Amino acid sequence: MSQVYKNAKEYNRENMIEAIKTHAEGHIRKHAMNVEVYLKNAAGVGEHPDILEAVEKELEQVAKYHDQLEVIKHYFE
């Protein structure tokens, strides 16, 4: 069993903050990758006829999770 998983069983301030940060960072990577796909292969994304709108939605998600990280950094670390 990994050390990260073992530590995750402990409900303490440090582990909760780390879990929230890891969750936000994963979502940022996911949505940033979607933007990259749109930017590099816009013609190949048939289910999104309005590519710019789709990119804007992905960027909104990146901003949402980035804001969460900034709030944690500013107020809780």
pLDDT digits (tens, 9 = 90+) for 6-26: 656 788 999 999 999 999 999
Q: How many domains does the chain have?
A: 1
Long-range contacts of 68-77 (CB under 8 A, 24+ apart): 68/20, 68/24, 69/21, 69/24, 69/25, 69/28, 72/17, 72/20, 72/21, 72/24, 76/17, 77/17
Give the structural domain span for 64: 3-76
Quick one: what percent of the chain has pLDDT higher than 90? 64
Query: Residue 41: pLDDT band by 50, 70, 90 thresholds?
Result: confident
Is the pLDDT at 44 greater than 60, yes or no?
no
Is the pLDDT at 40 greater than 60, yes or no?
yes
